[in-house]
Amino acid sequence: MTPITLQDVPFEFHVEVWALTIGAIAIGLYVWRVLQPKAVAAGYEPTTRKQALLFVAAVASMWVMSDWPIHEIAEGYLYFVHMIQHLFLSMLIPALYLMATPRWLFELVLTPNSRAWKLLRGGSRPLFAGITFNALTVLLHWSVLVRLSFESGLLHFALHLLIFAAGMLMWMPILSPVAEWRIQPLPQCIYLFLMSIVPTVPSGWLIFAQDVVYRHYDTPERLWGIDVLVDQTAAGVVMKLVGGFFLWGVIFAIFIRWAYSEMLADEQQREDRLTYDDVATHFERTPAPVEPK
């Protein structure tokens, strides 16, 4: 085993990544400066500062996770970095884009009740979205497909687009810009919990494997001296624990927000409820009527 450093990772300029990044920035500026004023004039709510920051975070994360050196490390040196890259592309970045999208923009791209609108509505229902996302998650860890994506840049790019699209579908029942497409808070918690179970299969396979699963990562030159089996185990841990903790954190946040809103609703209901003491106090404070002479 020959330890190497980041300086030994060859630089590669990814035209497709820069094209997507520049295109996303251009679209964002066009939406902000051209489309938003027209939407506000038509009566829609303006894009918030939070949505703008979420969009910037989404574009920046997409660029960092797809360009040098993350791309080169993930594909040719360390599989656990590959796993971190996929978690960003399939979970975090799609969520950021959805939270950054105002409803009026969503309806501008997909006309309500159009064929594309209805197709996306069907595809973003929890059952279909969940099965699609998890089936793709398992498929992407098939050793043959991992090797083919390593050998073909075009296939690798297509698979990244595919997991990004699947991630968008997966988050739709939770974060859709169309409020009617979202499910209720408690079903959201159950849905996300189920999303955290399926990755246990490939992650356990990686953690407990006694031999190298993906041969093209078994190279004599080891980045930072990390052993191939240690790297493989770390990839399984990242997939199960980091991905799982992220989803469980979202579940916790949804549950706390729901419980707090229910508590406020109960307090408001108690304040609005008319009790016997309220009636008695009102009569005590009301002067007796004066009898006519």
pLDDT > 90 in the chain, percent = 67
pLDDT at position 286? 64
In tens, the pLDDT along 101-127 reads 999 999 999 999 999 999 999 999 999
Burial (0-12, 13-18, 19+ Cβ within 10 Å), 183:
middle
Provide the residue-wise pLDDT of the chain in tens; the chain has 293 residues. 789 999 999 999 999 899 999 999 999 999 999 999 999 998 998 999 999 999 999 999 999 999 999 999 998 899 999 999 999 999 999 999 999 999 999 999 999 999 999 999 999 999 999 999 999 988 888 888 888 888 887 888 889 999 999 999 999 999 999 999 999 999 999 999 999 888 777 788 888 888 999 988 999 999 999 999 999 999 999 988 888 889 999 999 999 999 999 888 877 777 666 566 665 666 666 665 555 55
Q: Is 58 exposed, middle or buried (0-12, 13-18, 19+ CB in 10 A)?
A: buried
pLDDT in tens, 76-89: 899 999 999 999 99
- Cβ(175)–Cβ(98) below 8 Å: yes
* Torsion angle, alpha carbons of 145, 146, 150, 154, to 10: 50
Give the pLDDT confidence score for residue 69 in this predicted structure: 95
SS3 label, residue 223: strand
Distance CA 120, CA 110 (A): 9
Two structure tokens written together for 18: 């820069």
Measure the CA–CA gap between 132 and 128, rounded to whole angstroms.
6
Cβ-based neighbours of 199, under 8 Å, separated by 6 or more: 134, 137, 239, 240, 243, 244
